[in-house]
């Protein structure tokens, strides 16, 4: 088993594999020896992908908007950096990313910024605090079980087979995997130990709408930029 590696998941819309290639290419530019696994659909894989990605897994990858959750517990790494496709790496400090993981925790993640969120992260029953678009996690059994539960519960959530008290937890949370993560972390026995990237945590997952001052004078290492509509809605 390889120690550390990055995991991309591209499903449902070809824009995601275009973005994954772009992101992985920037990763290899700044860290040529980094190890990358891509989960995607066989029909999307091109010859050049085998030069870019070290490991491509296509078997049984679901066509699903949260296929990422399905892939998480199938990581080939001891320590995995899950990274959304709509990202790119800015500099060589990426080589230090796995050193940011607190070995006493199971997952290292960055804080979500309310002002940049698509929904109101605060609700009567709690608050979504963790940005699930990039995180490092270990391969302990309980961590992988958490990831499995994340996928299974999300599927129920998406199909409306899991319902909750909407007085406390608003219905608008339904599309979001951050909500499923919050629930598992706060309301179930599957909870795993979380730590945050050291401050400024956002340098490891700098969403393009974040305020520059969040970086506290440092350079962002990973930029998270939503795929433009032109590409997302393109005829790929």
Partner 1 sequence: MDYIHLPRKIENPYWGNQEKTQVICEFNYEGGPVVTAAVSNTDDGNPDWKEIFTIWTSEELDELTQKILDDENELKAKQKEAELDELERMKGDSLFAAKLEAFDIDIIKNSQNRNFKSKIRKAKNLTEVTSYAAALIALEHDK
Residues that bind partner 1 (CB under 8 A): 18-19, 21-22, 25-26, 28-29, 46-48, 51, 88, 208-209, 225, 227-231
Residue 9 parent element (H or E):
strand 2-9
Residue 145's alpha-carbon distances to 129, 142, 156, 182, 190, in angstroms, are 21, 5, 17, 15, 7
Instruction: State which residue, 92 or 120, has the beta carbon closest to partner 1.
Output: 92
Instruction: State which residue, 9 or 136, has the beta carbon closest to partner 1.
Output: 9
> Which among 233, 223, 229, 235 is positioned nearest to 86, based on CA atoms?
223
Instruction: State which residue, 8 or 179, has the beta carbon closest to partner 1.
Output: 8
Q: Describe the strand order of the beta sheet including 222-224 as a list of residue ranges.
A: 87-89, 222-224, 206-207
Q: How far is the CB of 33 from partner 1 (least distance, A)?
A: 14
Q: How far is the CB of 88 from partner 1 (least distance, A)?
A: 7
Instruction: Let me know how many helices (H) and strands (E) the chain has, helices first.
Output: 6, 12
Q: How far is the CB of 170 from partner 1 (least distance, A)?
A: 27
- Report which DSSP code applies to 145: H
Instruction: State which residue, 2 or 223, has the beta carbon closest to partner 1.
Output: 223
Instruction: State which residue, 15 or 173, has the beta carbon closest to partner 1.
Output: 15
Q: How many residues does the chain have?
A: 236
Q: How far is the CB of 225 from partner 1 (least distance, A)?
A: 6
> Which among 127, 96, 79, 86 is positioned nearest to 204, based on CA atoms?
96
Q: How far is the CB of 235 from partner 1 (least distance, A)?
A: 12
Instruction: State which residue, 88 or 151, has the beta carbon closest to partner 1.
Output: 88
Question: Could you tell me if 98 and 81 are in contact, meaning their C-beta atoms sit under 8 angstroms apart?
Answer: yes
| CB half-sphere exposure, 84, CA atoms < 13 A | 21
Q: How far is the CB of 111 from partner 1 (least distance, A)?
A: 23
């Amino acid at each position: 088993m390889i120690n550390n590696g990055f995991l991309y998941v591209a499903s449902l819309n070809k824009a995601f594999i275009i973005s994954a290639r772009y992101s992985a290419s920037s990763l290899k530019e700044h860290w040529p020896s980094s190890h990358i696994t891509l989960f995607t659909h066989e029909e999307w894989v091109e010859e050049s992908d085998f030069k870019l990605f070290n490991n491509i897994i296509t078997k049984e990858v679901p066509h699903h908007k949260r296929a990422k959750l399905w892939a998480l517990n199938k990581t080939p790494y001891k320590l995995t950096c899950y990274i959304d496709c709509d990202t790119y790496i800015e500099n060589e400090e990426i080589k230090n990313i796995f050193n940011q993981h607190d070995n006493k925790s199971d997952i290292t993640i960055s804080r979500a910024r309310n002002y940049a969120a698509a929904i109101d992260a605060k609700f009567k029953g709690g608050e979504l605090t963790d940005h699930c678009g990039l995180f490092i996690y270990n391969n302990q059994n309980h961590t992988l079980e958490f990831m499995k539960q994340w996928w299974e519960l999300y599927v129920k959530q998406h199909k409306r087979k899991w319902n909750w008290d909407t007085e406390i937890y608003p219905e608008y949370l339904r599309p979001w995997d951050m909500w499923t993560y919050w629930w598992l972390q706060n309301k179930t026995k599957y909870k795993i130990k979380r730590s945050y990237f050291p401050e400024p945590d956002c340098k490891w997952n700098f969403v393009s709408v974040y305020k520059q001052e969040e970086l506290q004078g440092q350079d962002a290492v990973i930029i998270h930029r939503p795929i433009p509509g032109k590409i997302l809605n393109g005829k790929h």
